[in-house]
């Protein structure tokens, strides 16, 4: 009993192959009780297969590792034997059943007494903020997208599952409802103590709601960590590109000095990056820098101790909250710098297309990337 929060989901070297495509390739991760865990990635990355392995719609390959739920190996257990809840992207409400019968469907399967079904259905509808008196008798076709999603959520939650799987549940609702539901889902997760496993391709959504995120790419877990770890310390170029925006630089380590590595870029300019024990002198490395951690200045004004690379302003883009300054460096590399918009009418940025300028940033804001 050393770990106070038991593991509810354990994937150990799980593989799933369709034909000759490895949809999921020896992935391992664990999810703790009560966590809001997101699986994030572009389409085709294996996130849906991972969820389907969890739900039991697909089984791992014969030599494809172990899926454990609440400590038990469930590789070949059918979905109806797993006691999990699931919310589908398409809602998957039964069109021939009323809201009440939809929400009560799982309880009916469990031979729950009729009166108890009634009370629990009402409670579940209240939990997702649908007035039972208004909605129990309605058919799914009479509901809006957001209401259907709430019914689908109530239908899964009414069974008090240990784990709730959500497959891009907010993909089809409009922006306003989506924002609202994001906060409600997060609140439900905390209030009920249910483990949420949330599959999405929307990085902002994952960052907003999750305790931890598994970023998937090409059937592998590219990185697993808290939103801050994923955003601020992306381990691979894929993660740095998929979550937020990044500027990339590639170079060779020329020397170690004063707790930093000196990197020679293609055209011979040198930049400094934080030291990392695994990197040897002479090694080629790629680094990423977030646009908002960089600044634009005149080439002569690069602050001491900062990296500076000269180039030409290609464009200044007005985005409201921020201004994006695009700079073409001398080696042709395009760099985007995000600056806070302090009011272009009062205090406009002094840059326009064609100006000579430099981008500058602190060595510690460089993230050294692993080879993917």
Taking the complex as a whole, the smallest distance from the CB of residue 216 to other proteins amounts, in Å, to 21
Quote the strand ranges of 74-118, DSSP E.
85-87
Among positions 31, 84, 121, 329, the unique one binding other proteins when judged by CB under 8 A: 84
125-144: contacts with other proteins (CB under 8 A)? 139
Q: Does 109 bind other proteins (CB under 8 A)?
A: yes
236/270 Cα distance (integer angstroms): 22
Plot region of 282 (φ>0 → left; ψ -120 to 50 → alpha; else → beta): left
Q: Does 79 bind other proteins (CB under 8 A)?
A: yes
Q: How many residues bind other proteins (CB under 8 A)?
A: 29
Residue 173 has φ and ψ, to the nearest 5°, of -100, 160
354/99 Cα distance (integer angstroms): 62
* Strand, helix or coil for residue 330: coil
Taking the complex as a whole, the smallest distance from the CB of residue 239 to other proteins amounts, in Å, to 30
Among positions 34, 41, 46, 56, the unique one binding other proteins when judged by CB under 8 A: 56
Q: Which stretch binds other proteins (CB under 8 A): 152-160, 174-182, 268-276, 358-366?
A: 152-160
Among positions 40, 45, 55, 294, the unique one binding other proteins when judged by CB under 8 A: 55
DSSP character for 268? S
Q: Are 286 and 322 in contact (CB under 8 A)?
A: no
SS (H, E, C) 203-215: HHHHHHHCCEEEE
Q: Does 92 bind other proteins (CB under 8 A)?
A: yes
Q: Does 90 bind other proteins (CB under 8 A)?
A: yes
Q: Which stretch binds other proteins (CB under 8 A): 66-74, 79-87, 193-201, 247-255?
A: 79-87
If the CB atoms of residues 57 and 318 are measured against other proteins, the closer one turns out to be: 57
Among positions 80, 258, 305, 332, the unique one binding other proteins when judged by CB under 8 A: 80
Q: Does 114 bind other proteins (CB under 8 A)?
A: no
Taking the complex as a whole, the smallest distance from the CB of residue 112 to other proteins amounts, in Å, to 11
79/199 Cα distance (integer angstroms): 18
**Site residues (CB under 8 A) for other proteins?**
55-57, 78-80, 82, 84-86, 88-90, 92-98, 101, 105-106, 109-110, 139, 155-156, 159
């Amino acid at each position: 009993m050393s770990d106070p929060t038991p593991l509810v989901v354990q994937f150990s070297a799980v593989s799933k192959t369709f034909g000759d495509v490895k949809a999921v390739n020896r992935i391992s991760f664990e999810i703790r009780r009560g966590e809001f865990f997101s699986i994030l990635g572009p389409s085709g990355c294996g996130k849906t297969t991972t969820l389907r392995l969890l739900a039991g719609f697909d089984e791992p390959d014969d030599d494809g590792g172990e899926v454990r739920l609440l400590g038990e190996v469930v590789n070949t257990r059918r979905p109806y034997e797993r006691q999990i809840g699931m919310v589908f992207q398409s809602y998957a409400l039964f069109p021939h059943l009323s809201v009440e019968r939809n929400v009560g469907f799982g309880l009916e399967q469990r031979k729950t007494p009729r009166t108890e079904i009634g009370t629990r259905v009402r409670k579940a509808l209240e939990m997702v903020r649908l007035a039972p008196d208004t909605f129990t008798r309605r058919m799914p076709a009479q509901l809006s997208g957001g209401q259907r999603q709430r019914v689908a959520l109530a239908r899964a939650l009414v069974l008090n599952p240990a784990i709730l799987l959500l497959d891009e549940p907010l993909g089809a609702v409009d922006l306003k409802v989506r924002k609202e539901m994001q906060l409600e889902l997060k609140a439900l997760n905390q209030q009920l103590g249910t483990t949420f496993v949330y599959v999405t391709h929307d990085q902002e959504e994952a960052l907003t709601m999750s305790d931890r995120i598994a970023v998937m790419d090409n059937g592998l877990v590219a990185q697993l960590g808290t939103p801050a770890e994923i955003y601020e310390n992306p381990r691979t170029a894929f993660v740095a590109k998929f979550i937020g925006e990044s500027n990339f630089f590639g170079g060779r380590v020329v020397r170690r000095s004063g707790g930093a590595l000196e990197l020679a870029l293609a055209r011979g300019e040198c930049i400094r990056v934080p030291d990392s024990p695994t990197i040897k002198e002479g090694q080629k490395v790629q680094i990423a820098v977030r646009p908002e951690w960089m600044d634009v200045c005149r080439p002569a004004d690069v602050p001491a101790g900062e990296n500076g690379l000269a180039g030409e302003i290609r464009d200044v883009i007005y985005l409201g909250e921020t201004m994006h300054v695009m700079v073409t460096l001398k080696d042709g590399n395009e760099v985007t710098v995000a600056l806070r918009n302090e009011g272009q009418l009062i205090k406009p940025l002094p840059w326009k297309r064609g100006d000579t300028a430099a981008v500058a940033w602190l060595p510690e804001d460089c993230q050294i990337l692993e080879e993917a």
